[in-house]
Structure 1
Amino acid sequence: MINLQVRSESGAIQARAEHGVVWGPELARLDHSVFPMLGHLLPYADTAFNSRQVSSLLGEVPRLPPGVVTDEFASELLELGQKVLDGQHLYLWFVGD
């Protein structure tokens, strides 16, 4: 399971998603040339994105094929990503198992 968090520069958790995403073949097989940000996620490691990277990431979410992530996860991803963009010195963390 990969969960989402918004963290400050100091690492303090500012917000977290209620829904995670299960690592599966659909997510593992994303074409890196089409989904360069989401294509870098790993199932058992953490991945952090800064605000510039989050801008690119948010453009990928609406283009995801059906079934890669749940609607709930996609909605929270967009919401937390926007929180990073609206704040200062915030990062979006994908926290792997």
Structure 2
Amino acid sequence: MINMQVRGDSRDVVARAKAGVRWTSAFADLDPALFPMLTALMPDGDAVFNRRQVPLLLAELDRLPAACGGDWVGQARELCQVVEQRVHRYLWFVGD
């Protein structure tokens, strides 16, 4: 399971999602040219998105295949809003 959090510069957790991203082979099948942000997700690693990358991530979520969807998508959108509200905030996808 990949957990989602918004952290500040000092890595303090500002917000976190209740749902996590359940890794499936559908994520591995995403085309990196079409989903450069989401292909950064790994089940056993971390991916961090800054305020300038969030719009790109949101655009990818709009066209995400159903096989990769779930409750986490809406919660990721909410966390993206938290990141966009202030500088020095980052959306973290934290793998196991």
Q: Which category of TM-score, normalised to the shorter sequence, fits these structures?
A: over 0.9
Partner SS, residue 15 of structure 1: strand
Aligned to 2:56: 56
Summarize deviations over 1:22-58 as a string: whole Å, max 9, x none. 1110111111000010011111011111111112111
Which residue matches 1:77? 76
Q: Name structure 2 gaps, 5 residues minimum.
A: none
- Counterpart of 2:26? 26
Matched letter for residue 92 of structure 2: W
State the number of aligned residues.
96
Detail structure 1 runs of 4+ shifted over 4 Å in the superposition: none
**Number of the residue aligned with 2:95:** 96
- CA drift of 1:64 comes to 0.4
Structure 1: unaligned runs, 5 residues or longer = none
TM score, norm. by length of structure 1: 0.95
TM superposition score normalised by structure 2:
0.96
Is the Cα contact below 8 Å between 1:26 and 1:67 reproduced in 2?
yes
Percent same amino acid among aligned pairs?
Answer: 48
Map of 1:14 onto structure 2 = 14
